[in-house]
Amino acid sequence: MFGDIVRGHRRRLGLSQEEVAGRSGVSVRGLRKIETGRIAAPRPTTVRLLADVFGLKGADRDRFCAAAHTEPPELPGPPEPPGPPDRNARRHTAAPPAQLPADVTGFVGRADALRRLDALLDGDTDPAAVVITTIAGSAGVGKTALAVYWAHRVAERFGDGQLYVNLRGFDPGGQAMDPTVAVRRFLDALGVPAARVPADPDAQAALYRSELAGRRMLIVLDNARDTAQVRPLLPGTPTCLVVVTSRNQLSGLVAASGAHPVTLDLFSPAEATELLTRRLGAGRTTTEPGAVAEIITACARLPLALAIVAARAATHPHLPLHGLAGELRHTGARLDTLTTDDPSTDLRAVFSWSYQALSPDAARLFLLLGLHPGPDCSAPAAASLAAVTVPRIRLLLAELTQANLIVEPAPGRYTFHDLLRAYAADLARGHDTGGTHRILDHYLHTAYTAARLLYPVRTPIALAPPAPGTVPEQITEHEQALVWFAAEQAVLLGAVHHAAATGFDTHTWQLAWAVEHFLDRRGRWHDHVTVQHAAVAAARRLANPSAQAHAHRHLALAYIRLEQLADADVQLRHAQDLYRQDGDLTGQAHAQHTLAHVRERQGRLPEAREEARRSLALYEAAGDRHGQANALNGVGWYHALLGDHASALAACEQALAILQEFGDRRGQAHTWDSIGYAHQHLGHPAEAIACYRQSLELFREFGERYYEATVLDHLGDTHHAGGDEHAARDAWRAALSIYDQLDHPDAAQLRAKLA
């Protein structure tokens, strides 16, 4: 069939059907019909377009085109009725998510489990039901390895991509991932704009299911604790397939959702022998069959334990296998927290001698990594944790990686298997030696530097010097700061909570302060609320009214973004009271300025202007000229919204002069927009256009997409009022493109203007 030839070329190039459709102009629906044989002889134009995408030339192109006409042409039929607009059209323009971890090399055994998983894709299931399989078994039995290996085998059959999350259901710290966190991560991976994500967790889960509707996706939910943790992550469409791994059987998921259970037992002796033989070579295992049998028995035929033993044997090629067997036989139990009837308890012996075989510095680092607060750790952070240089830490991390005690899932970032993390944490208990203080200082001082680069004119806070041995990362540029925050986002959130749990209250509220602007800029307002709540509690324990006021005000800012205006009002009242108690006029002015924003969002414009005037008076009393500039722009903006454009222009021009004096380019961008708006409504189109262009240039410099669209909208209005419909249309179309990318509700109004 010609469809087989097309599919072969597409797979040769590693392209999805959506990618081929996008490059050729052939619809996805048409391409699917060709590949499945429903269109056996497509039009010559279609064939030529596909040949171009596949890069076929000369004789190869001739054979390809000839093959398209070896079958009878498709008989014409009645035209398909037009369907409803494709609400998923925009979401398919981005590359499909491909979140699977790296494929498993040297995979051994599990033939029966693989056959059962293959059957799920070969018609042995209800075609109208969501296909779910649960892979259950003891810790270290290879559930994740099987799921990832099989998922890579079948990934090509899911053209809309793969989602993966480690639910940390059996995390050593007892902190299983809340399913709402996983839902939010999946929404991000699916390209849902932050502005479109509702605050309510149930609404987020409903949006997640809506985004999956009609997509053919593979979803791997790794290390689940129970059915309740999994259920919110299940799609509602039979085009998706879900693989869940857990130490529990998840019988509730089997009973209620028709999941297909696959239970993994220990390796058979033959599989365990095959693993050791593949890793060590047949020559070595066949010469010591007794030692091999003893190692397999001591490791309880547990795949993870066998892999660690094999790694040790491979890196010590002159060590007899009976020596390894003897070490396993005589090493005592140390990981008492994991002493259960689970066969993986024998891992304590394996971990013990693996740890003891390390160099002293690597062993110390392994212990200290048990104190790290995040899901993974960068090399510079590990250097601060261990109080050594970065070049030295890279050597130690390489030693740990080679010993299979840590893994490097992404270049330069390191993490643990759950059991190894528990073992490291157990070793670290009572042997902190300042590691927690150093790692929190590392993240606090680096985040503070990065935050100051993102918003240089922000009122600074005072940090204590970092603990000896801490080497914060050197971040010197705005773009570098953004990249660092993005890479460390999950770790920083973990650091805030770890600081609060371990009594580092000053670090808690200061870390929350440092991440505030980045979280706001990224639209991570739910995370912003969480860390600021922790900051409020920490500042209260410290009896520090200034820190508590800062945290309440930042919490209010997050609530404003989430349109929880009543909550924002409450937080600002707390902040104002605390700033007054502390005698902080600038803080009072900040709170008053933020309250004006709340009143604007509530549609109470006269009150918003009065709040802005009060903030201006407070900034003047405090002698804060930069604050005065922002307040003047606020007063001017509310004048403009209330129709007093001459007063607006006077206030905003005064604000602009001060902002230019301070070099606050972001503040200038907002003020140029306000001035342009005033000129526009005063009938000064040339001046308005010039101001808007200044504002656009600055907002683009900072990557402020929403405000860029707002200014483009205003610019289009000005062109339209002046009769230049072509320029108005161009500006509105550019604004609409951004609003559509952000999925912002203002798009509807702009689309009406264009119509």
- DSSP code of residue 147: H
Q: Which of 21-30, 319-328, 481-490, 522-531 has the highest mean pLDDT?
A: 481-490
Look at 33-42, 442-451, 539-548 and tell me which has the smallest mean pLDDT: 33-42
Q: What pLDDT, on a 0 to 100 scale, did the predictor assign at position 492?
A: 97
Proportion of the chain above pLDDT 90, given as a percent: 54
Judge whether residue 559 has pLDDT over 80.
Answer: yes
Cα dihedral sign for 358, 360, 365, 368? Answer: positive
Q: What pLDDT, on a 0 to 100 scale, did the predictor assign at position 704?
A: 76
End-to-end CA distance of the chain: 46
3-state DSSP helix/strand/coil % of the chain, to nearest 5: 65, 5, 30
Judge whether residue 89 has pLDDT over 50.
Answer: no
- DSSP code of residue 196: G
Give the Cβ contact number of residue 465 at 10 Å: 8
Q: What confidence category does residue 714 fall into, taking pLDDT thresholds of 50, 70 and 90?
A: very high
Look at 41-50, 327-336, 375-384 and tell me which has the smallest mean pLDDT: 327-336
Q: What pLDDT, on a 0 to 100 scale, did the predictor assign at position 506?
A: 98
Q: What pLDDT, on a 0 to 100 scale, did the predictor assign at position 513?
A: 97
Tell me the pairing of strands 407-410 and 413-415: antiparallel
280 and 314 Cβ atoms separated by less than 8 Å: yes
Q: What pLDDT, on a 0 to 100 scale, did the predictor assign at position 351?
A: 64
674 and 687 Cβ atoms separated by less than 8 Å: no
- DSSP code of residue 471: -
Judge whether residue 531 has pLDDT over 80.
Answer: yes
Here the tokens at position 70 are 């070896």
Look at 25-39, 438-452, 600-614 and tell me which has the smallest mean pLDDT: 25-39
User: Sheet harboring 413-415: ordered strands across?
Assistant: 377-378, 413-415, 407-410
Judge whether residue 472 has pLDDT over 70.
Answer: yes
Q: What confidence category does residue 147 fall into, taking pLDDT thresholds of 50, 70 and 90?
A: very high
Judge whether residue 354 has pLDDT over 80.
Answer: no
What does the pLDDT average to over 10-26? 78
Q: What confidence category does residue 194 fall into, taking pLDDT thresholds of 50, 70 and 90?
A: confident
Instruction: Find residue 164's DSSP bridge partners.
Output: 220
Q: What pLDDT, on a 0 to 100 scale, did the predictor assign at position 353?
A: 59
Q: What pLDDT, on a 0 to 100 scale, did the predictor assign at position 19?
A: 77
Q: What confidence category does residue 499 fall into, taking pLDDT thresholds of 50, 70 and 90?
A: very high
Q: What pLDDT, on a 0 to 100 scale, did the predictor assign at position 401?
A: 84
Proportion of the chain above pLDDT 70, given as a percent: 91
Q: What pLDDT, on a 0 to 100 scale, did the predictor assign at position 667?
A: 92
Which amino acid would we find at residue 531? V
Measured at the CA of 458, the angle between CA 455 and CA 464, to 5 degrees, comes to: 105
Name the CA dihedral angle for 245, 251, 255, 259, rounded to a multiple of 10 degrees.
20
Here the tokens at position 155 are 């990934």
Average pLDDT, the chain: 86
What does the pLDDT average to over 546-560? 95
Q: What pLDDT, on a 0 to 100 scale, did the predictor assign at position 6?
A: 87
Q: What pLDDT, on a 0 to 100 scale, did the predictor assign at position 91?
A: 46
Cα(324)–Cα(318) distance, rounded to whole angstroms?
11
Tens digits of residue pLDDT in 205-255: 999 999 998 889 999 999 898 899 999 999 988 889 999 998 778 888 888
Closest C-alpha among 323, 330, 331, 328 to residue 288 = 323
DSSP 93-142: GSPPPB-PPPPPTT----HHHHHHHHHHTTT-S-TTS-EEEEEE-STTSS
DSSP 715-752: HHHHHHHTT-HHHHHHHHHHHHHHHHHHT-THHHHHHH
The larger pLDDT score, comparing residue 311 to residue 684, is at 684
Q: What pLDDT, on a 0 to 100 scale, did the predictor assign at position 331?
A: 45
Q: What pLDDT, on a 0 to 100 scale, did the predictor assign at position 418?
A: 61
Q: What pLDDT, on a 0 to 100 scale, did the predictor assign at position 125?
A: 62
Q: What pLDDT, on a 0 to 100 scale, did the predictor assign at position 94?
A: 58
Cα(636)–Cα(654) distance, rounded to whole angstroms?
10
Q: What pLDDT, on a 0 to 100 scale, did the predictor assign at position 235?
A: 93
Q: Crossing angle of helices 585-601/565-582, nearest 10°? A: 170
The larger pLDDT score, comparing residue 93 to residue 61, is at 61
Tens digits of residue pLDDT in 637-679: 999 999 999 999 999 999 999 999 999 998 999 999 999 999 9
Look at 377-391, 518-532, 682-696 and tell me which has the smallest mean pLDDT: 518-532
What does the pLDDT average to over 395-423? 82
Measured at the CA of 325, the angle between CA 319 and CA 328, to 5 degrees, comes to: 115
Q: What pLDDT, on a 0 to 100 scale, did the predictor assign at position 173?
A: 52
Q: What pLDDT, on a 0 to 100 scale, did the predictor assign at position 343?
A: 38
Judge whether residue 90 has pLDDT over 50.
Answer: no
Alpha-helical (H) ranges within 192-320 are 201-212, 227-230, 251-257, 269-280, 282-287, 289-298, 303-315
Element (H, E) at 407: strand 407-410
Instruction: Find residue 220's DSSP bridge partners.
Output: 164, 243
Structure-token match 């791994």, residue found: 245
- DSSP code of residue 75: P
What does the pLDDT average to over 187-194? 90
- DSSP code of residue 393: H
Alpha-helical (H) ranges within 502-564 are 505-522, 525-542, 545-561
Q: What pLDDT, on a 0 to 100 scale, did the predictor assign at position 352?
A: 67
Q: What confidence category does residue 365 fall into, taking pLDDT thresholds of 50, 70 and 90?
A: very high
Closest C-alpha among 479, 554, 482 to residue 516 = 554
Q: What pLDDT, on a 0 to 100 scale, did the predictor assign at position 346?
A: 41
Here the tokens at position 679 are 């000129």
Q: What pLDDT, on a 0 to 100 scale, did the predictor assign at position 81?
A: 43
Q: What pLDDT, on a 0 to 100 scale, did the predictor assign at position 127?
A: 66
Q: What confidence category does residue 114 fall into, taking pLDDT thresholds of 50, 70 and 90?
A: very high
Q: What confidence category does residue 126 fall into, taking pLDDT thresholds of 50, 70 and 90?
A: low
The larger pLDDT score, comparing residue 276 to residue 419, is at 276
- DSSP code of residue 162: E
Cα(488)–Cα(478) distance, rounded to whole angstroms?
16
DSSP 309-345: HHHHHHH-TTS-HHHHHHHHHHPPP--GGG-SSSGGG
Q: What pLDDT, on a 0 to 100 scale, did the predictor assign at position 417?
A: 62
The larger pLDDT score, comparing residue 655 to residue 53, is at 655
What does the pLDDT average to over 86-99? 60
Look at 252-266, 432-446, 498-512, 633-647 and tell me which has the smallest mean pLDDT: 252-266
Instruction: Find residue 136's DSSP bridge partners.
Output: 246, 263
Cα(677)–Cα(637) distance, rounded to whole angstroms?
9
Q: What pLDDT, on a 0 to 100 scale, did the predictor assign at position 68?
A: 81
Judge whether residue 304 has pLDDT over 60.
Answer: yes
Radius of gyration, CA atoms only, the chain: 31
DSSP 219-243: EEEEEE--HHHHGGG--S-TT-EEE
365 and 397 Cβ atoms separated by less than 8 Å: yes
Q: What pLDDT, on a 0 to 100 scale, did the predictor assign at position 247?
A: 78
Cα(338)–Cα(50) distance, rounded to whole angstroms?
57
Here the tokens at position 733 are 């179309």
334 and 426 Cβ atoms separated by less than 8 Å: yes
Cα(497)–Cα(504) distance, rounded to whole angstroms?
10
